[in-house]
Structure 1
Amino acid sequence: MSYSWHHYHANEECRRQSADIVTLPMDDYEITYQRDSAPPERPRSNSKEVSRTTSTPNGAISKVNGKLRIIFSLLVVFFVVTLAVFGVQFHWTSRLNIQDIELRELLVDETRTLKRNLINSAAGSRSCSELRDSHGVSATGHYWTRDPFSGAGRYIYCNFQVYSDIFTCAELSSRYNESEYGYYLLGGATGGFRYCPAVTEIWHDSMDERKATDCEAPDCYSHVPQYSISTDKILKIINGSKQCRQYIKFRCIGAMLLNHAGTRFGSWSSRNGELMTYWGGVPSRRPGLCACGERGSCFYKNQSCNCDNNSLNMTQDEGYLTDKSKLPVSKMAFGDMGDSTESGWHTLGKLECSGAA
């Protein structure tokens, strides 16, 4: 706003003249002075001393703004408290849910482990009696078990029905029409399992695995089994049976068996002392062969036996001898075990005969 003390423009309606006083409106201020006196100094704006016309509305707005701030603050506090409460509740609920899930998973894992251990334990059983007594198996069927002498896996048929009035396999077949090869409870629960068709087993004193004494030359180590009955009785059983078999095994590290570059280190002898140079599992009975050589599945394809590879890998040759005219085995012999890195272990199973000649 422009104003001159000697020359000014004023609103005609607002100008009032008097003898000594002139009053002029100037926006929000009124200036009063004597006409003939010097104009007073222009008052300086001072918010503390001068009241503006807008002071009253601004005060009301300030009060409203203050209330709004209080309300907003209360809402923020309520919101924060609500989030805190629900956050804590969600946190503990989540922890409980997670713990519940983890507990369920743990129970499932433990159940699976128990079932797996039961299956593994049952699979490691060696007889129908062990399946029944140690693992509670009672359902008739085929079960994967371990041969009690060789340790090889095999399926056997276990019939857990008790035949109290049956004592022979012939009676079982004629009266109950049972023809499955396997084990049956004949003569009551205390009678034990019998294999039908009937199998006669002749045991000896060294059916568990034994370590051969270290030596180098062919057949330098030998072992002679002692059977539970005399040779004459064994021959009567063999001659009266349709078929007989005997399990034989040699496990080795660096020890050769039958044919390494034309050299033989091991053998077995027939009941008459005849030196035999083929191994178990060889139906052709060709000299110098083991079962893997007969099938073409040896550790090294150009070898006739697994043990003939002469390496430091643990391996073995095994199988059943089935020539009735040669059984039972009277001796086993091995060599090539003179070095500190060479070892051998042998196993000879029971003589088994079945059927009628």
Structure 2
Amino acid sequence: MLLTTLALLDVALRAATIGQLVLLVGVGLNRKPIREGTLLLLAAIACGIAYLLLTAPVPDAAYGMIRNILLLLTDAWAYALWLAAMYFFQEGFSVRHTPIWVRPFVIVWIAWHLYFFGFRGGDGIYHQINHGLSILILAHIIYTALTGLSDDLVDKRRRLRLMLSGALAAYGVMLAIDQLWLGRQLQSATLSLANATLVFASVTWFSVYLLRTNKGSVIPEPDSGFDTRSQTALPHEYVNLKRALDDFIERGDYMQPELDIASMASQLGDKEHRLRRLINRQLGFQNFSGFLNQLRIQKARQWLASPQHASTPIMNIALDLGYGSIGPFNRAFKRSTGLTPTQYRAQFHNQP
């Protein structure tokens, strides 16, 4: 089979992209210990390689017996990418935390995918349904990445959020062009080449990003909870900002409702990116909400243990600390202490 110039360029870009992805797999497997985030990322990469092969401008018959395997992985790509994105962007996310009652449904769904794509070759209406679900999943990844941007204190991870959102949005536009009437006006080879170019550019950026980034600054870890008045030497340019932040905390201004990092920076009279770096690099927090919650939960523990607040309703304490309702306060408190506010208070005021 002779390939046109566009098709040859398309295949070359896909081959170069697959080479980069294989390199990332090698780097990921070489890092010890292999964490859950690494495994999820490797799964997404494997599905991405299958997608690049199966959507290349060559007949399906060229893949022979492995065609169904490639199809299975290709149609699982959005799900694998979603799991990896949630691990990177959602604090505390883990596949191991999947509720027990959900697991049987997941097993049945995986078995159905194996049967439908692996044995039936994707022949049926469910193939189109799965495409629709994949688009919704990719949209949710974009939503999660962008809505968490303001809370994220890690500069490199913030760039990853923007890059991933932009790449997926561009991919969605190409899907729309391909499915709508405009796609019929363009040569399929042109759309395929545009797709290969987008994927190549995105993977190249991502490869450079991962290879140059310290793993610990990308994969979210629990906030270290450093003392906000740590005497660790600060760079000279942050001394005044740190002093202003200490005064802000001393006054209890962190208990303002709906406080975000932009508002705090404005009240401190400094730039948001400088405050973000101070809290992240000097105090050890990766999310602004984690920093804020630690301050508020510390104060909550003092109040709950104090005789002066022994009869104060938990709701009032939550509102006074700046929480909009009791639910977020209860979740943050239990995540920090392992106890509900009521259980914690009982240790001090309900002794026999």
TM above 0.5, one fold? Answer: no
Q: TM-score normalised to the size of structure 1?
A: 0.22
User: Whose helix fraction is larger, Structure 1's or Structure 2's?
Assistant: 2
User: Whose strand fraction is larger, Structure 1's or Structure 2's?
Assistant: 1
Q: TM-score normalised to the size of structure 2?
A: 0.22
